[in-house]
Structure 1
């Protein structure tokens, strides 16, 4: 295979591997949420009653807002730096470390993909901040005390903020193989494979975690019945 053809083969394979893993993760979250960390956290937040301790709830949400703000600031800063770098870039890379298509057009495509990835991370984290800020007001509304439908609405918005946080974090994960694509399609493909393998162990739960979660849910159900 010629050097210039590696980008058209390895890059789609790497992206397909990364996308295929996340499609499997989405399917598992929908069908068997307790097998994933995201699903268990979603069920836990759904059972969380922020009206029992409003101060603690606001502090917890504030910490999440600060984390989302940090990621959003980092994403937009990196996007600005990449834009400045690309606008001042006069020639294509000629380093011997790069093995692949070194044309100026392909170089621009690589940096545009990284820029788009960071912009998506910025937008997702901004949406996360929006939902968290909305929940921080709803969590301390006195009229919601004792109303199950109001608590359900707060938990639903809290989960939406967390889902946007997860999407923004996934965009940061995707930026690693896209950044390595600058050095060639081989490092990019290897990074996609390793990252999918590592994310599998980070996203899935163990038997002990599932048993502990189901036990806590049963205990809460018994308390509600009483």
Structure 2
């Protein structure tokens, strides 16, 4: 065998984690500086436009806005419940079995190593739960802010600061939604680490390819750059 078994965990696992970290550093840079080339950036723009459109006619669009946000709250609640349930399952697995540490083709095995792997998966699910709970919090705020009239002085001056604030709160909830989903995604290669560093590394590479196809878009960027400039800041 070209590589001793004891070096598999020390090389493939950090390589997979570093690849995922570098990809998300790149994604954050694209969202911050070139948002129209990413799905997250385009969705932020669309949510801002939607909030401004809804708040221009609050009495007419209020029911539509509340129903739309309610659906988002229900989805976040479902994912938060799923995350905390999986935390309970992983917590039970932490107390199962005690074996001496040893090296095999599937990486390092043993009670300490298995507990570490389960703990990392548990952390992912806890992060997912907290993020989706925060998502519900922000969406709940938006559900009444979006139908609240702006202060009289701002309305007389034609100021859109109130709608801009509501759209900012809305986008913060969406950011927590994305972070919660990323935590679920990250738990998959960490879970496969229980079957060895090779499945973990292969899953990390496949996951990065999958996420890249979901996160980037070029079909609408030209449209937003040329035909959708409405004075909305990114």
In the alignment, what sits opposite 1:76?
A: 84
CA deviation vs aligned residue, 1:16-67 (integer Å, no higher than 9, x gap): 0011101000011111000100001111112222323111111111111111
Alpha-carbon separation, structure 1, partners of 2:93 and 2:23: 32
What's 1:177 paired with?
Answer: 189
Paired positions, count: 216
What is the correspondence of 1:50-69 to structure 2 with a 5 Å cutoff? 50-51=54-55, 52=57, 53-69=61-77
Report how far residue 197 of structure 1 moved.
1.1
1:39 corresponds in structure 2 to: 41
Where in structure 2 are there 5+ consecutive unaligned residues? Answer: none
Instruction: Give the secondary-structure state (helix, strand or coil) at the position aligned to 2:108.
Output: coil
Structure 1 residues 178-217: aligned runs within 5 Å: 178-206=190-218, 208-214=219-225, 217=228
Asked if 1:110 corresponds to 2:110, the answer is no
Which of 86, 94, 97 is matched with 2:94 structurally? Answer: 86
With the length of structure 2 as denominator, give the TM-score of the two structures: 0.87
Preserved CA contact (<8 Å) 1:92 1:107: no
More helix by share: 1
- Separation (CA, whole Å) in 1 of partners of 2:100 and 2:21: 28
Q: SS at 2:220's partner residue?
A: helix
TM-score by length of 1: 0.89
